[in-house]
Amino acid sequence: MTEEHVPPLPHSDPVRVAVRRRSFGLADVAVFLMTLALLAAIARVGAGTVVAFGPTHQLAAISLDAHNLPYYAGRSVLRMFVALLASFAFTFAYGYAAARSRPAERVLIPLLDILQSVPVLGFLSITVTGFIALFPGSLLGLECASIFAIFTSQAWNMAFSFYQSLRTLPADLEEASTAYRLSPWQRFRQLEVPAGMIPLVWNAMMSFGGGWFFLAASEAISVLNQSYALPGVGSYVAAAVAKQDLGALGWAVLTMAIVIVAIDQLFWRPLVAWSDRFRLDQTTGADAPHSWVYDLLRASRLPRRLRAALRPPADRVDRALERLTAVRTGAPRGRSASFETGFTVVLVVVVAALIALAVRFVLATVGFGEVWHALHLGLLTLVRVLVLLVFASLVWTPIGVAIGFHPRLAQVLQPVALFLASFPANFIFPFATLAFIRLHVPINAGSVLLMALGAQWYILFNTIAGAASIPTDLREMADDIGLRGWNRWRRLVLPGIFSAWVTGGITASGGAWNASIVSEVVSWGTTTLTASGLGAYIADATGKGDWPRITLGVGTMSLYVVGVNRLVWRRLYALAQRKYRL
């Protein structure tokens, strides 16, 4: 039987059929063209990043002509991917160090915990000034600042995920790699990275989605009484807001939607499909992730040729690294108790000194009254975050559960929820602002809605996942014994989705705190609405370049976030793990 005799298969998708009919030709051409297009795009877009710029020559203004949007989008996408690359590099280094060295772990993990809780946007002012000083006379400084903002929204999550994978490596695999005397490099390449790959890719995908928000917020900013705008979709939106151009805003939203879907299809889906081979449980599930791009790449001969050509140099690098990290012989060294104590003392002293310095700086410049003021504002923002969580839960939990209980519906709508979660809410802010102005909605209440635009989807998304994970036999049991109405919710549904809801709540509240910095102050043209809250306080201080207030604002917000995490979320999470684990 040859391929020509195959009867037409009605349910196969066109790509697969094309791939099969002309075994290689089409797939190869497609892959070749895609590669060329990608290279050309990178060259065209990348050239703009090293343009000279200084106080003397202003940046070219952002043009609102929709024809420029593909180029702007290209610049933004490039920024996102550079940040992603940096996040991966950071993840491997940081996660590895934290997991492999006890003393490093004791510094790095709490630090990661704090970095995760700190409002990234509050630091923009610091980083922008720093990077501009680093690359005087080039746009690269601003680019770096924007990329850094995106990086900070992705890297901590990813590093934590990799660290956790390293700490939970299957013991037998770890023993085997020790017994067969794998060098650290071999271990890293053959065991540690593959074992952490699936959670890492998922985490990177989710963080990447969140990164759009920070991209949009960091491309056009006012810092220290000066406005900067990098060519990109985010600054295009900012320019459209300043000019009150609704049409341009519409184009920007459309562009963003296309970009998100395209990157999902062309990058993340194939990556997820590829990473499925690193599953540790050794079962090949029928529901393995699929991607048409990945199928195309596999059907084509080009990637295989390329891999074969690259193999010899790669092998050489591999061998060199293996030799560099050769296994040390002799018994593993233990650290003495006195070293441990000394380390702890140094740690405590350093942390105490840092806190004392910050407190002294704030007190010496703004005084106690200002601290109380910031704490009070923080309380207002906290109330907003809580109101948001309660309302988002009340609205989305029933909907999420209804979707999650219908597998087919969930299959269709879960990607939609994921898309909505990664769509940068700040693209929608101008529309909402306009509505607030027209309908006379007070911004003190309206900002809750703005914060919810981005944060609520995490609740929906996780509720769907939680409901879908309630085993069928438990639901059948509930039917069988006649659990209905409120009793069914109280006994089965709410406890069943609790873990997932907590995960969603943590993410949503983190997102909401960050969003407060851009949603408590919004403008449309020359009208600016300012709510009273810690986010507005930080935004105001950042714009004016008021260092003591920036420090105080960011510090206070970090305090609130860390405090709420420790006092509420951490306990709920522990409760979910202890009692409500399915």
Partner 1 sequence: MSESLIEVHACCKSFPTAEGKGSFQALQDVSVTVGRGEVVALLGRSGSGKSTLLRIMAGLIPYTSGRVTSDGTPLTGPNADVAMVFQSFALLPWLTVIENVEIGLEARAVGRFARTRRALKAIDMVGLDGFESAYPRELSGGMKQRVGFARAMVVEPKVLFLDEPFSALDVLTAENLRGEIDELWNAGTFPAQSILLVTHNIEEAVFLADRVLVLGSNPGRIRGEVRVDLKRPHDRNDPRFKELTDYLYAVMTNPAREIAPEAPATVPATPVGPPAVPRPALARPLPPVRVGTISGLLELIEDMGPNEDAAQIAARLAVSVDDFLAILDAAVLLGFATVDAGKVALSSAGLAFATAPIQESKNVFRTQVLANVPIVATIARTLAEKENKSMRADFFLDLLEEHYSDSEAREQFETAVEWGRFSELFEYDASEERVWLSEAPVSPA
- Contact residues for partner 1, defined by CB under 8 A: 1-3, 6, 9-12, 16, 19-20, 277, 284, 286, 298-299, 304, 307-308, 311, 471, 473-474, 476-477, 479-484, 487, 491-492, 495, 579-582
CB closer to partner 1 out of 12 and 101: 12
Judged by beta carbon, residue 440 or residue 581, the one nearer partner 1 is 581
Classify residue 224 by its DSSP letter. T
- Taking the least distance from each CB to partner 1, the nearer of 14 and 482 is 482
Q: How far apart are CA 409 and CA 464, in angstroms?
A: 10
Q: What is d(CA 2, CA 378) in angstroms, rounded to the nearest whole number?
A: 71
CB 24 within 8 A of CB 300: yes
**Residues ≥6 apart with Cβ < 8 Å to 410:** 403, 404, 464, 467, 468
Question: Which among 30, 33, 18, 41 has a CA at the least distance from the CA of 297?
Answer: 30
Alpha-carbon span 418 to 436, nearest angstrom: 27
Find the DSSP H helices in 424-546. 429-439, 443-468, 472-481, 485-488, 494-519, 534-544
The nearest distance, CB 506 to partner 1, in angstroms, is 20
**Of 2 and 329, which has the nearer Cβ to partner 1?**
2
Q: Which residues of 394-428 are buried (b: 16+ CB within 10 A; e: fewer)?
A: eebbeebbebbbeeeebeebbeebbebbbbbbbbb
Nearest approach, Cβ of 498 to partner 1 (angstroms)?
Answer: 8
Query: Which CB, 376 or 579, lies closer to partner 1?
Result: 579
Closest contact distance (angstroms) between CB of 22 and partner 1 is: 13
**Residue 471 CB, nearest distance to partner 1 (Å)?**
7
Question: Which candidate, 228, 231, 220, places its Cα nearest to that of 64?
Answer: 231
The alpha carbon torsion through 153, 158, 164, 167 (nearest 10 deg) reads -130
Residue 186 CB, shortest distance to partner 1, in Å, is 20
Three-state DSSP state, 582: coil
Nearer to partner 1, 4 or 172 (CB): 4
Q: Whose Cβ is closer to partner 1: residue 20's or residue 106's?
A: 20
Pick 153 or 300: Cβ nearer partner 1: 300
Least distance (Å) from partner 1 to the CB of residue 376?
39
| Smallest distance from partner 1 to CB 146, Å | 38
Neighbours of 25 (CB within 10 A): 13
Least distance in Å: CB of 228 to partner 1? 47
